[in-house]
Chain A
Amino acid sequence: NAGVTQTPKFQVLKTGQSMTLQCAQDMNHEYMSWYRQDPGMGLRLIHYSVGAGITDQGEVPNGYNVSRSTTEDFPLRLLSAAPSQTSVYFCASADGNYGYTFGSGTRLTVV
């Protein structure tokens, strides 16, 4: 099915560990974004990309890294996990008309 695929769906990390959240889309969308969702805070933009090779910071980029080597993939890297990064992470892609498609999310717990 066409859409945005996020892996893994669930992850538990120890403080200080690193990991990569994967995001892939098959709609040939230029725009891709990572959001985190925390209770009572809505969704906050972490990083975004307007095309392969182009990324920029969003509202809460600290502790996260991204790259966009292909149109399809936009992985999010946690460099050294902290309990404050416990959250639900959503990847989204968009066409040129605000046609956002969201993935089903990755629930991350850092202990």
Chain B
Amino acid sequence: AQSVTQPDIHITVSEGASLELRCNYSYGATPYLFWYVQSPGQGLQLLLKYFSGDTLVQGIKGFEAEFKRSQSSFNLRKPSVHWSDAAEYFCAVGPNTGFQKLVFGTGTRLLVSP
């Protein structure tokens, strides 16, 4: 069965510090991979996606993610966190053929301390 694991429910990072959010997936074939961000009371916004090619992908707002096939991971990173990055982050996977159904992880809530 397809699944996405985000092992950290909450993470607190000091403003200006680096960030890494973990994501592991279980999938029968090579999936497409995504990171979304959700601000309070809002819908989801796509940060970045990986389909193929270079395993380090750049996204919006200074985020990047690295696909590691051997570890079934797609961790999200940012070198310097800003207070406005406080939000909930979701990792998602989808098939590379057929209907584009997304399977989401349970999310990681990022808190940014001054």
Asked whether any CB of chain B lies closer than 8 Å to the CB of A53, the reply is no
Residue on B nearest A59 in the bound complex, by CB: B103
Contact status of A98 and B100, CB under 8 A, knowing A40-B106, A41-B106: yes
Known contacts A40-B106, A98-B32, A98-B94: A45-B101 contact under CB 8 Å: yes
CB nearest neighbor in A for B106: A42
B42–A104 touching, CB < 8 Å: yes
B34 touches A90 (CB 8 A): no
Q: How many A-B residue pairs have CB under 8 A?
A: 54
Residues of A within 8 A of B42 (CB): 104-105
Among A43, A103, A104, A105, contact of B90 (Cβ-Cβ < 8 Å): A43
In whole angstroms, what is the CA distance A41 to B4 when docked?
11
* Contact pick for A50, options B41, B44, B99, B105, CB 8 Å: B99
Which residues does A use to contact B, with CB under 8 Å?
4, 31, 33, 35, 40-45, 48, 50, 56, 58, 90, 92, 94, 98-100, 102-105
